[in-house]
Amino acid sequence: MKVYQTNDIRNIALVGGAKSGKTTMAEAMAFNGGVINRRGSVEDKNTISDYRDIETDRRNSVNTSLLYSEFGGKKINILDVPGFADFQGEVCAAFNVVEAAVVVVNAQSGIEVGTEIAYRYSNKLNTPMIFAVNHLDAEKANFDESVNQLKDYFGGKCTVLQFPVNQGLGFNKVIDIVLNKELTFNGDKCEMSDVPAEFADKAEEMRMALVEEAAAADDALMEKYFEDGDLSHEDLTKALKLAIAKRDLYPIMCTSAKENMGVARLMEFVNDNVAAPCETAFPKKTQAGKDLQNSAANPAVAFAFKTDKDKSVGEITYLRLYDGELSEAQDVINSVNQSKERLSQILVCAGKNRQRVEKACAGDIVCTIKLKDVKINHTLTTPKNTDDQVEEITFPVPIHTVAVKAANSNDDEKVGSILNEMCSMDRSMTLTNSRELRQIILGCQGELHLNTIKWYFANVHKLEVNFSDPRVPYRETITKSAEAMYRHKKQSGGSGQFGEVHMLIEPYYEGMPDQTKYPIRDKQVYPLDWGGQLNFNNCIVGGSIDARFMPAILKGIMEKMEQGPLTGSYARDIVVNIFDGKMHPVDSNETAFKIAGRTAFREAFKNANPKIMEPIYDIAVAVPTESMGGVMTDLQGRRAIVMGMEAEGKYTTLKARAPLAEMNRYCTALSSLTSGRGTFSMTYAEYQQVPADVQQALLKAYEEESKDED
């Protein structure tokens, strides 16, 4: 394969709804460029893009696939991106490394969740968009309705450049406004002819409106338009390219990817009207804010945006080259950790097929294998420019969490290793070993995302793994003072154990006065890692307990605060006064006083009118306005308090406060209520006391759990 220069490279992402036909579009593009000689299909499980076992099993994309097409003397790098909302981490990564997104829209269903997700990332990352209305050969295809929805949702920038002559069954003709021709598709061929008289007036009116709109992208072209009243085809192409690059215009094209109709014209349009990497209006920046120029003359800057694993070659690292050139056997520096790496091979991808090339130029997207320590968001540079770290991709925060445990405890380490590897390759997942909850917590993007993880464990790793709801990080504290004592006495031959501790505990609050019942000889304040504090006061007089045993008593109390008496949750905000006790000249030791201190604290805690505190979160839920009533009702059923709402376009954002305990699996409920269109975020706010009925239920549940463990 030839080496393409930056001017001859185009980078696009195919995005949109799950059944819009992106993978079929990618297949047609590869076929039209001669990369493959026969088009596969999703139904036959033989596309070059959906080649992974899970994708052929489920017949939908799960991972982004990189492929390319050589068309019209240019190389088009194509990222075929999954359409389900749960895989939007893949959408996010793709939008970060391309110059344009082709948003594939199903002509039968119009705007879908995947369309809206694509638009959100387009806005966030300033990525130009082209809409391809697909499935125009379907019986229920409705081009006009799809266009109306696009304009209604995304505004007047959505501009029709083609419209179908005979949509539905038998579709094979479109009017192309830019070419001012009728295109007739016959198999994989396209015939061009003059616009029929019945469409001539409509086509001319649309063309002149397009010329005026596109000319506004450049002052010189606008001046020429005012002088001549029109633009030549070359000037119109130039104007369109500028308008698309600035995101002033979102073209709407017509396709039937399954029958390869309109796809070659779409590729030609991409070649002519999508900016080359060096022409982008919104260049990628380094973390220091410097624009990356996509110039082969600069030192190399290659950004790792995706990693994957292959049975035959191991780990694959996908690189977007923002400056310079990469060659086989080239030594580079990982600017994140300063480690040296050698690029053993430079590979171009056609889905599952990979081909070696001697080098890649700025702007290209390639992959390599067998790097030692390169992860997603790492930048490879030369020793001259290690400061050129590319701005990192900000992946979506997980919205669905589960506790994970191997069914066989002997597999715990193996399961943890697999999950860590999954998280390194999918940054929309997180893995946390929660000491507080005593669980491994996996964060993901929803039920479908989780089901994908389960599929890998069952079908690839052959491991049985249990997934359950995470525990809630409650807090325990007290509301009144209480005294208790405990004598620990154990005799079993030889030295025994003896320790007796008397204590008074009080609820702590800022600025509280010291108790006066027992004189305080020594006061220690211990801020707690989980919030709040413990005040430990030594009130011993007369030497009933040696000072050397005080640390042991404190240790026993801290152990019980780490696993509270009520539900095993952290305890906080307590003052402990040790005012009396007894020792034995032979049998007293640190272990005895630790046990005595722990048990006395537990008894005093239970008598101090204890309460359970629960974490409260600020919730922001963005939903289509027509779904607002159902979403609000559901939130109120979760003990949420609605704080307000803000309307923006067709969406309303509800702001509420809700207990974390009630928000488990909320992403699933919200998706059901809004047909997948709702989104939400959660931010910790504070701890509040749980209602009395909830506290009783928690105490009963913990008691039952403790019995089971015994």
Q: In the block, which residue shows the tokens 């008397």?
A: 502
The residue ranges of every structural domain in the chain are: 6-208+249-279, 301-385, 400-468, 476-608, 612-694
User: Are 400-468 and 612-694 the same fold in CATH?
Assistant: yes
Class of domain 301-385: mainly beta
Q: Mark residue 170 as left, alpha or beta (left: phi above 0; alpha: psi -120 to 50; beta: remaining).
A: left
Distance between CA atoms of residues 419 and 396, nearest Å: 18
- pTM of the entire predicted model: 0.90
Options 3.10.20.30, 3.20.20.70, 3.80.10.10, 3.40.50.300; which CATH number does 6-208+249-279 get?
3.40.50.300
- H or E stretch covering 412: helix 412-425
Convert 598-623 to b/e letters by CB count within 10 Å (16 or more is b).
bbbbbbbbeebebbbbbbbbebebbb
Distance between CA atoms of residues 575 and 532, nearest Å: 11
Distance between CA atoms of residues 379 and 102, nearest Å: 27
Distance between CA atoms of residues 104 and 60, nearest Å: 15
Distance between CA atoms of residues 611 and 619, nearest Å: 25
- Residue 526 has what pLDDT? 96
- Residue 710 has what pLDDT? 45
- Residue 252 has what pLDDT? 97
Q: Please give the single-letter amino acid code of residue 689.
A: Q
Distance between CA atoms of residues 215 and 563, nearest Å: 70
Residue 244's closest CA among 224, 278, 218, 205? 218
- Residue 707 has what pLDDT? 67
Distance between CA atoms of residues 45 and 11, nearest Å: 26
Q: Which CATH architecture has domain 612-694?
A: 2-Layer Sandwich (3.30)
- Residue 187 has what pLDDT? 83
What are the 10-residue block averages of pLDDT along the chain, 710 residues in total? 93 95 96 93 92 90 95 96 94 97 96 94 96 96 96 94 95 96 92 95 93 87 86 90 95 96 97 96 94 95 94 91 95 94 94 92 95 95 94 95 95 95 96 93 95 95 95 95 95 82 96 94 94 95 92 96 93 96 91 96 96 96 93 94 91 95 93 92 94 93 72
- Residue 154 has what pLDDT? 93
Class of domain 400-468: alpha beta
CATH domain 476-608 topology: Ribosomal Protein S5; domain 2 (3.30.230)
